[in-house]
Structure 1
Amino acid sequence: MNKLNRGVPEKIMPEVLEIASRNYANHSQTYSDSELIQAGAEAQIPAEFIQQAIQEVRSRQKRQQKQRKVLAIVGASILAISGIWSIWTYNSFSRRASQVEAQWAQVENQLQRRADLIPNLVRVTQAYTEYEKEIVSLLQQSRQAYLQADTPEKKAAAVEQVNDAINRFQDYAANNYQLQSSELFTNLQYEIAGTENRLAVERMRYNQAVQRYNQTIQQFPNSVLAYRLGFEVQSFFQATTPEP
């Protein structure tokens, strides 16, 4: 079928005519070398100067085309490098953040272990005295506060209550010779000391992981990408632990 005989929808006719007009204008405004030489002769310009000018213009156009290609390649390379850097940096952020989460889980394990000692402290206290209800209540409240804490900040505050309760218990036990002679109390003392030592180690490791993470996201230009991706500075765990 002859393509010229195909029907053209009326709605595209304005666009077709506009493009055809532009193409015709570009075509009609081109000149051959001989036409330029003839035009130069009419202006009393020797043919060799016309030919030289034509070569210069063509050379300049080639250089401009080459420059545009180089700029396009450089731009594409920059975009590619930026993309690779962004992916690598994001993975670095994620890895550091995962390390912080993993270390915090270890801290929580030891905090939970210490909180789980409180019921034993309550039992041994109740077994050897009927008058220290304040210490029993303080131990129970501190453990409940820890169990209800659901963020590192809240847990740090709750740990302070646990520390205070354990310290109060230690002070009380130091003046209660009957309690000190108890085998259960002695075993609890060893458990408390071991837990505190493990907690100190895990807290140190957690703070080291936080430091590495914070340094990674705060360094320029990492800080720009971290801000856009929502990576925020993490707080150190500064809770104090009672002396065993």
Structure 2
Amino acid sequence: MSTGTIVLIVVVALVVLIGAYIGATYNKLVKSKNSVEEAFSTMDVYLKKRWDLIPNIVASVKGYAKHEAETLEKVISARNNGYSSMNSQQKLEANAELNTAIKSLNVVAEQYPELKANQNFMDLNAQLKKTEEDISNARKFYNAVVKQYNNTVEMFPSSIVASVFHFEKRDMFAVEDSAQREAVKVEF
């Protein structure tokens, strides 16, 4: 075999290996990106479920706390934006605002022992408490999936493939207001 043939074989082998690496890395990035989107969708289901529970809880509280209109209006206001028309970031921001409103609603409910004894209210409270637990678990899972994706996007040499194919780092779900870091206590 001539030197030219050996060089050609080595070059072809390198091109094949680099192509295989690029293909495998691209597929890994696509899979990770889809996992991030799935994790957000799962979290979004629970956020939407909580979103839909709020009007029922507010209606229950209204009957007992007619003079607490300002607090109830804040909860309704935090809830009334069109959820389905929001993008991912807007949904997270709206739900952070809703967390604050729910805390205010908890304070109002504490003042009415007869409300806390109402079966309908207790059922709604139990549903909300379960939903808050589901949201917490979904957030943890989402952040874990985003971490894995971001590692692939940022670590060398996969970062080169990510850059070429425009895979961007994703934001983890993080709470910016320290008061919101506390779990919403759902005990009326």
TM superposition score normalised by structure 1: 0.70
Encode CA deviations 1:125-149: one digit per residue, 9 max, x unaligned.
2222321221221121111247166
Q: Which of 124, 136, 141 is equivalent to 1:205?
A: 141
Q: 1:5-20, aligned counterparts within 5 Å?
A: none
Encode CA deviations 1:181-203: one digit per residue, 9 max, x unaligned.
21122112211110111111111
Return the letter of the residue paired with 1:214.
N
Given the alignment of the two structures, is residue 147 of structure 1 paired with residue 83 of structure 2, yes or no? yes
CA drift of 1:155 comes to: 1.8
Paired position in structure 2 for 1:235: 171
CA drift of 1:88 comes to: 0.7
Paired position in structure 2 for 1:62: none
> Contact 1:146 / 1:159 at 8 angstroms: preserved in 2?
no
CA distance in 2, matches of 1:174, 1:136: 14
Paired position in structure 2 for 1:173: 109
CA distance in 2, matches of 1:134, 1:218: 47
Name structure 2 gaps, 5 residues minimum: 176-180
> Contact 1:139 / 1:165 at 8 angstroms: preserved in 2?
yes
Given the alignment of the two structures, is residue 76 of structure 1 paired with residue 12 of structure 2, yes or no? yes
> Contact 1:111 / 1:199 at 8 angstroms: preserved in 2?
yes
CA distance in 1, matches of 2:57, 2:70: 13
Name structure 1 gaps, 5 residues minimum: 1-64
> Which moved further from structure 2: 123-132 or 105-114?
123-132
CA distance in 2, matches of 1:218, 1:243: 37
> Contact 2:65 / 2:108 at 8 angstroms: preserved in 1?
no
Given the alignment of the two structures, is residue 95 of structure 1 paired with residue 31 of structure 2, yes or no? yes
Q: Which of 132, 156, 159 is equivalent to 2:68?
A: 132
> Contact 1:180 / 1:186 at 8 angstroms: preserved in 2?
yes
CA distance in 1, matches of 2:134, 2:9: 57
RCO greater where, 1 or 2, for CA within 8 Å and sep 6 or more? 2
- Summarize the Cα distance change of 1:243–1:129 in structure 2 as closer, same or farther, 3 Å threshold: closer
Q: Give the secondary-structure state (helix, strand or coil) at the position aligned to 2:167.
A: coil
TM superposition score normalised by structure 2: 0.89
Paired position in structure 2 for 1:8: none
Encode CA deviations 1:96-143: one digit per residue, 9 max, x unaligned.
111111111110000001111111112112222321221221121111
CA drift of 1:75 comes to: 1.0
RMSD of aligned Cα (Å): 1.6
Given the alignment of the two structures, is residue 216 of structure 1 paired with residue 152 of structure 2, yes or no? yes
Q: Which of 12, 18, 22 is equivalent to 1:86?
A: 22
CA drift of 1:174 comes to: 0.6
Return the letter of the residue paired with 1:66.
S
Structure (1 or 2) with the larger CA radius of gyration: 1
Q: Give the secondary-structure state (helix, strand or coil) at the position aligned to 1:116.
A: helix
